[in-house]
Structure 1
Amino acid sequence: MNVDGALASGRAAAEARMRDTVRLYTQAEDTFDRPSGTTVPGAQSTLYSGKARVKAISASTGEETAAGEREIVLREYEVHLPWSTTLPGGTRVVPGARVEVTDSPDLRMVGLVLWVTGVSFSDQATAWRIRTEDRS
């Protein structure tokens, strides 16, 4: 089997394991509405919506860090999208974009929002891998 054939088989196998559904999006900065005293979330732009595989990178408990006045635990995840995924208008995924799990066989993951920390590219990969962290 040649390299292209092996990659096609590997990509098909990787997609078969993508049982979660996610939405990859960017969000503009929040604004503060003085009259109401509330924070208004920034506008969201969806870059991708579809199948994925979301997996914890390690079984560690995560890194504790301070955010504002509260402690949060950062847990790393890797999100696999189909290798053939294209984004609108040549958009690139950059740190700060978000991935929301919209459906999963593991119902505890539904609603999980992950923050993109890095993206990998390779012509010989079986899936497009996006490194993320859970900031809850």
Structure 2
Amino acid sequence: MSLQDALAAARALLPRFMEEQCVVERYGGRVFNATTGKYDEVWTPIYTGACAVKPVAAGRDTELGEIEVVLRRYRVSIPFGAAVPIKPDDRTTVTSSADPWLVDRPLRVVDVSYSATSASRKFFVEDQS
């Protein structure tokens, strides 16, 4: 069995083990909402489907403006065949998980991993709560 055959088999099997569901969105700017009189952010979904979310480090304290926040970093894996490349500053939201604390928490993409020999697409997100 060649490396490419092994990768194809792993890539076909791996989504079955991704227990979360998530949506990845890309920022599209702001539009004026005449009803509220305020500007709303526009986010466009670029991936919806299976994912796996795993913590990669303990939270670290930092300042965001004048507010102290704890940054928590996670690795998100999605199927290798996902059509649209994920980019830093995209937003990931877990929509279904066995861990209810993870659901509906917006996570900002901070880094993307590229590898021709990976069984899944991986990127890193931060929870800035």
Normalising by the smaller structure, the TM-score range is 0.7 to 0.9
Q: Which of structure 1's runs of 4+ aligned residues deviate more than 6 A?
A: none
Which structure 2 segments of 5+ residues have no match? none
Q: May I ask how many residue pairs the two structures share in their alignment? A: 127
Which structure 1 segments of 5+ residues have no match? none
Query: What amino acid maps onto 2:48 in structure 1?
Result: S
Instruction: Determine if the alignment matches structure 1 residue 132 to structure 2 residue 125.
Output: yes
The answer to whether the 8 A contact 1:83-1:128 is kept is yes
* Identity over aligned pairs, percent: 30
Query: What amino acid maps onto 1:72 in structure 2?
Result: V
Q: What residue in structure 2 maps to residue 18 of structure 1? A: 18
The answer to whether the 8 A contact 1:30-1:39 is kept is no
Instruction: Determine if the alignment matches structure 1 residue 77 to structure 2 residue 70.
Output: no
Pairwise CA distance, 1:39? 5.4
Q: What residue in structure 1 maps to residue 8 of structure 2? A: 8
Pairwise CA distance, 1:22? 0.5
Please provide the CA RMSD for this pair: 2.1
Matched position secondary structure for 1:41: strand
Give the structure-1-normalised TM-score: 0.82
Which structure shows the bigger proportion of residues in strand conformation?
2
Q: Distance in 2 between matches of 1:12 and 1:104?
A: 21
Q: What residue in structure 2 maps to residue 46 of structure 1? A: 45
